[in-house]
Amino acid sequence: MSPYPKVAGPDVASDPTLAALLEQLDTRHHGTVCCTLVYGSCLRSGDIYDGLLDLYLICDSYRAAYRRPALAAANWLLPPNVFYAEQKLAAKGKTLRSKVTVISLHDFQRGCSSAWFESYIWGRFAQPTRILYARDEQIREQIEASLTMAAHTLLQNALPALPAQGSLLTLWQQSLSLSYATELRTERAGRAQELANTSQSFYTALTQHHASDLGFSFVLYTQDAELHYRSQIGATKRWLATVAWALRRGQGKFLSILRLIKALFTFEGGLDYIAWKLERHSGEEIPIPDAVRRAPLIHLWGFFWGLYRRGIFK
């Protein structure tokens, strides 16, 4: 039995619009999708028609998933690629809108492990994730193992940079915050706290599963009816972890910019998506200057810098 906790959420069998969307996406990628994941705010809220549904398509290979070599090369050089897809729900006049991220099975498995220094994948998938589709049981088991490993990788890298003891809730709040800080985040403050608070049973199960194999002393105990942890980690390892996270912040923010630029060419209406996402999370209107629309590669840098100075990016 898989140690990955069961995550409630949408079901393809009971939602024909979602099923049609997944079929559309599999056709677009020539039948190479071996697994589809959903995570993020729509999964937590339970309403997949509110906002953009975060979907991850895990494919057999980039070469097989695309007919355009440039897209395959972009996905291979700087995974993942991001696209937009929607499916109309004619009966109720609703539209299921999704941000679709494509990554190969090989890169996903590596990205959930310590083989990737960058926390982009293992930090992101150390949160509740639901498997919407798996080609067969073997693929499902591989993906569940990778999702379980993502939490292990985050704990193993985060704990040496955190206090030696504290509540389990605080442990996950701070661990997720470390990962969030490596990207150009637009979410409101407190997102890591919200995620940890709403997923306590999920994180309790994963922490208990990994407690004995983190590579250092780590103990769970109950205090005042709340689960706490205590770790014993040497000073050198703690210093190295602090340096590693500082490097990840620099690396991650630089790669976030490159991924945003890449999305301009892979994401239909990419500039408008970026503005919508920034407005949704910051509460401020983000108009796209005409110069940026005409020549994004020339003018986007100044536009992003202005947003950063305004505090839209963090």
Residue 298 lies in a domain: no
37 forms bridges with which residues in the sheet? Answer: 56, 131
Residue 166 lies in a domain: yes
Which CATH number characterizes residue 42's domain? 3.30.460.10
Residue 274 lies in a domain: no
Task: Answer yes or no: is pLDDT of 186 > 60.
Answer: no
Task: Answer yes or no: is pLDDT of 92 > 80.
Answer: no
Residue 31 lies in a domain: yes
According to the model, what pLDDT value does residue 184 have?
75
Structural domains counted in the chain:
1
The residue range of the domain holding 62 is 12-268
DSSP state of 294: H
Q: Give first-to-last CA distance, the chain, whole Å.
A: 40
Average pLDDT over residues 15-42: 95
pTM for the predicted model, two decimal places:
0.88
Of 12-21, 45-54, 261-270, 284-293, the range with the lowest mean pLDDT is 261-270
- Please name the amino acid found at residue 105: L
Residue 139 lies in a domain: yes
Average pLDDT over residues 182-196: 76
Task: Round to whole Å and give the CA distance between 8 and 131.
Answer: 10
Residue 229 lies in a domain: yes
According to the model, what pLDDT value does residue 281 have?
62
Task: Round to whole Å and give the CA distance between 37 and 131.
Answer: 5
Task: Round to whole Å and give the CA distance between 122 and 150.
Answer: 4
User: Could you read off the pLDDT of 132-180 as tens digits, one per residue?
Assistant: 999 999 999 999 999 999 999 999 999 999 999 999 999 999 999 999 9
Q: If you count them, how many residues does the chain have?
A: 314
According to the model, what pLDDT value does residue 52 have?
85
User: Could you read off the pLDDT of 297-309 as tens digits, one per residue?
Assistant: 777 778 877 877 7
Residue 148 lies in a domain: yes
What sign does the CA torsion over 290, 291, 296, 300 have? Answer: negative
User: Could you read off the pLDDT of 272-290 as tens digits, one per residue?
Assistant: 767 766 776 667 778 888 8
Kindly indicate the confidence band of residue 226, based on its pLDDT and cuts at 50, 70 and 90.
very high
Average pLDDT over residues 254-282: 74
Segments in the chain forming alpha helices (H): 16-28, 41-45, 62-65, 69-77, 105-111, 120-124, 137-158, 168-180, 191-198, 200-210, 235-266, 270-282, 290-294, 296-309
